[in-house]
Amino acid sequence: MDFFASQELARRKTRVMLVLFGLAVLGLILGVYLLILGILALDAGRMIQGSVDQALDRGGWGWIWFRPEILLGVSLVVGLVVSLGSLYKIAQLRGGGSSVAAMLNGRRLLPNSTDLHERRLLNVVEEMAIASGTPVPPVYVLDHEAGINAFAAGYTVDDAVIGVNRGTLTQLSRDELQGVIAHEFSHILNGDMRMSVRMIGILHGIQLVALIGYFIVRSMSGPGSRSSSRSNGKGDSGRVGVFLLGVGLIVLGSIGLFFARLIKASVSRQREYLADASAVQFTRNPEGIAGALKMIGAVEAGSTVKASNAEVASHMYFADMFDGHIAHLFATHPPLIPRIQKVDPRFDGDFQEYVKLRARRLEQQRERDQTAEGSRERLGRLGDRFRLPTAGMRFPLDPAILIAGIGDPSSDDVDYSAQIQAHVPQTIAAAIREVFSARCVALAMLLSEQTEIREKQQALIARGEGDATLREAVSLQPAVAALPPAVRLPVLEILQGTLAGMSDRQYATFRETVASMSAADQRLSLFEFFLHHHLINYLDRRFGKLLPQNEVHHDLSGLEGEVAAILALLVHSGHRELGLAQQAWAAAWKSLPTRKAAPPLPARIPGNLSSTSQSLVRLARATPELKRQILSAAAIAITFDQQVTTAEAELFRAFSESLDCPVPPIVATEFQSQRTTEPSPRS
């Protein structure tokens, strides 16, 4: 299943789930309505002897059982409570993954941490992010949790965070850790997080009904209310009625919660199997994730999480936070043993053997960890299986392969990413892991080659960010300019993660400086333009200046202008010769699902790209399926002449990432064309 299909599936499943939840809420309304009628009947029965019989005499059952004003009132109140509760929770969680991590008392790992275990975790996350083409998510460690567990939280790819228990760092080998992180990345890429945020929201809303009932009962039986109540008959019966209402609300709310949890748990368990399967696909190493799961079975602390707030995030975890061994209806995760057996069919369910094996292996692992850091050792093993492409290298590229790779990194991509990391010069590698100098790298990327413009830009940096920043940016600029094209996007991905550590005010000045700098340079290259659009867009969401967007464009009507503008840019960048460009233009347009004739190809790339920014923002709000079609057309626009340079391939990646569709490194995808001939685990 590819990226777009699984995003689409997640959307559809969310809709089914919403309908089921809607039914649960309807049932709840009906229940509360009947409850109130019952209480009123009881009340009336107390006051008028034999009232039920009288009522029957007067109007029959219809009179008692159908009271539209009460039904309306109940629907309004219950609907309001549930939806307010849901919206409140969704708004809270929508604020981004970092709020969830903060709620769980996570400590943010700095990209330049020197602790061995933390370093390893950061490297694994970076490799996985580069391999899938997403920005490096902030990583949080839950220091007080000894169990093996991890979670991914956030509303979209752009505000995702990964949280890891301390126990995971210390008890798993590098390969196993990689399996766990790949599992979490699969949640991020499959769009599971948005779905689960909505599920938690609705759950919260239903829970509120029970909570209100609980408050009612508490306030009725409290000592304060008793002393103040008068003991005449009418007040007493009122008290009984209200008390019954409270008890009834608890019961009904609990029943509603029961069904809602059931729905949530079953959806969640399906997504877990999917994430396990994807993790094997990303790393092509079933041992890794199977080992991590077995370790959970083997150690005493298992996957338990102690933080009291953790339940809201239970389904985002790697393994069940209560007890992974027992299968039950509400488990957010499938039981451990079947999960292991799906990735490792030979496993017989006996952890005993594994406990001993682990003790030995862990000892060895510790010795190895001390001598050499994991990633270097890995690199040595890889040898020169992948060459870093040079700027001028040209190769044919099948657009279909390009699209198939989106959001679906393979193990080769992961290996290749480690290689890319090794190709980043030391000065840059150190700089992009530290907020102060990472900013300088981002600004240095924008410095123009023309002296006149550059001087103007330098003055802008000095004014906005101070002399120290300017000095650092200028000293970094030669190294930044010399970065090979294949490395620039990965550098940006690490940079994005680091820059999310700025304070709000620092970001505000940074954003202003970047904007004024690109405005000063009228001849920004298209690639740089995409990079900075992507960077600012990402950071805007991180800093809450831009809410995650909902899809609003279901088909191409109304978007033709934007698509044409972008395609024209790509066609011109991919084809020097005008005749060839015309053909590529026609071919790309033909692949779009529109009946309109292709507009004439604009003669050349416009000097000013500022309107392109708005086009990108609009295109980013298309549905996954529509994005796939737009990206297919873009891939054709670039690859039509069968001659793709690395720069062009990176241009495509930058464009795709501007639309929130993460693309694995393309040169690795080139190897995929050879790979597809051999039997592949992909389905």
Partner 1 sequence: MQGLLIAVGGLLLILFVLVILAIGIYNGLVALRNRYENAFSQIDVQLKRRYDLIPNLVEVAKGYMKHEQETLQNVIEARNRAFAAGQKAAANPGDPASMSQLSSAETQLNGALSRLLMVAEAYPDLKANTNMMALQEELTSTENKVAYSRQGYNDAVTQYNIAREKFPAVLFAGVLGFREAQLLEMENPKEREAPQVKF
Who contacts 111 (Cβ-Cβ below 8 Å, separation ≥6)? Answer: 122, 136, 432, 433, 434, 494, 497, 498, 501
Interface with partner 1 includes 83 (CB under 8 A)? no
Integer-rounded Cα Rg, in Å, for the chain is 29
Interface with partner 1 includes 506 (CB under 8 A)? yes
Clarify whether 184 is annotated catalytic: yes
598-627 binders of partner 1 (CB under 8 A): none
Which of 110, 247, 327, 580 forms a contact with partner 1 (CB under 8 A)?
A: 110
Interface with partner 1 includes 238 (CB under 8 A)? yes
Q: How far is the CB of 310 from partner 1 (least distance, A)?
A: 14
Interface with partner 1 includes 108 (CB under 8 A)? yes
Interface with partner 1 includes 514 (CB under 8 A)? no
Q: Please choose, out of 91-99, 278-286, 324-332, 385-393, the segment that lies near partner 1 by the rule CB under 8 A.
A: 91-99
State the pairing for strand pair 644-645/394-395.
antiparallel
Distance CA 417, CA 403 (A): 19
Who contacts 474 (Cβ-Cβ below 8 Å, separation ≥6)? Answer: 444, 447, 458
Q: How far is the CB of 295 from partner 1 (least distance, A)?
A: 29
When the beta carbons of 63 and 215 are compared against partner 1, the nearer one is 215
Q: How far is the CB of 119 from partner 1 (least distance, A)?
A: 13
Which of 22, 50, 235, 396 forms a contact with partner 1 (CB under 8 A)?
A: 235
Q: How far is the CB of 468 from partner 1 (least distance, A)?
A: 4
When the beta carbons of 400 and 468 are compared against partner 1, the nearer one is 468
Which of 51, 75, 99, 591 forms a contact with partner 1 (CB under 8 A)?
A: 99
Who contacts 591 (Cβ-Cβ below 8 Å, separation ≥6)? Answer: 629, 632, 633, 636
* Count of Cβ atoms closer than 10 Å to residue 522 Cβ: 12
Structure tokens at 382: 């890889």
DSSP string, 482-495: TS-HHHHHHHHHHH
Structure tokens at 459: 């003055």
Could you give the string, one character per residue 176-215, with x where binding to partner 1 holds by CB under 8 A and - elsewhere?
--------------------------------x--xx--x
When the beta carbons of 47 and 400 are compared against partner 1, the nearer one is 47
Nearest CA among 415, 555, 418, 443 for reference residue 499: 443
Which of 102, 462, 474, 617 forms a contact with partner 1 (CB under 8 A)?
A: 102
Structure tokens at 385: 């299986």
Structure tokens at 523: 């001849």
Q: How far is the CB of 437 from partner 1 (least distance, A)?
A: 7
**Residues 656, 431, 184, CA angle at the centre, nearest 5°?**
50
The owner of tokens 């390893």 is: 120
Interface with partner 1 includes 19 (CB under 8 A)? no
Structure tokens at 97: 């993954």
Q: Please choose, out of 155-163, 276-284, 464-472, 630-638, the segment that lies near partner 1 by the rule CB under 8 A.
A: 464-472
Q: Please choose, out of 359-367, 504-512, 556-564, 643-651, the segment that lies near partner 1 by the rule CB under 8 A.
A: 504-512
Distance CA 282, CA 285 (A): 8
Distance CA 265, CA 271 (A): 10
State the pairing for strand pair 139-142/161-165.
parallel
Interface with partner 1 includes 38 (CB under 8 A)? no
When the beta carbons of 131 and 208 are compared against partner 1, the nearer one is 208
Q: How far is the CB of 98 from partner 1 (least distance, A)?
A: 8
Could you give the string, one character per residue 484-503, with x where binding to partner 1 holds by CB under 8 A and - elsewhere?
-----------------xxx
398-437 binders of partner 1 (CB under 8 A): 434-437
Interface with partner 1 includes 79 (CB under 8 A)? no
When the beta carbons of 1 and 242 are compared against partner 1, the nearer one is 242
Interface with partner 1 includes 112 (CB under 8 A)? yes
When the beta carbons of 480 and 647 are compared against partner 1, the nearer one is 480
Nearest CA among 454, 329, 375 for reference residue 126: 375
Q: How far is the CB of 226 from partner 1 (least distance, A)?
A: 14
Partners of 395 in the beta sheet? 644
Q: How far is the CB of 164 from partner 1 (least distance, A)?
A: 15
Interface with partner 1 includes 242 (CB under 8 A)? yes
Which of 75, 83, 237, 365 forms a contact with partner 1 (CB under 8 A)?
A: 237
Check if the beta carbon of residue 483 is closer than 8 Å to that of residue 527: no
DSSP code at position 314 = G
Q: How far is the CB of 73 from partner 1 (least distance, A)?
A: 11
C-alpha distances (whole Å) from 489 to each of 222, 443, 476, 660 are 63, 15, 17, 14
Interface with partner 1 includes 247 (CB under 8 A)? no
Per the residue annotation, which of 145, 176, 184, 528 is the catalytic one? 184
**Residues 119, 123, 125, CA angle at the centre, nearest 5°?**
120
Who contacts 91 (Cβ-Cβ below 8 Å, separation ≥6)? Answer: none
Using a CB cutoff of 8 Å and minimum separation of 24, what contacts does 482-486 make?
A: 482/425, 483/424, 483/425, 483/428, 484/388, 484/389, 484/390, 484/391, 484/423, 484/646, 485/391, 485/527, 485/646, 485/647, 485/650, 486/388, 486/389, 486/420, 486/646, 486/650, 486/665, 486/667
Binding site for partner 1 (CB under 8 A): 43, 88, 92, 98-99, 102-103, 105-108, 110, 112-113, 208, 211-212, 215-216, 219, 234-235, 237-238, 241-242, 434-437, 468-469, 472, 501-506
Q: Which positions are annotated as active-site residues?
A: 184
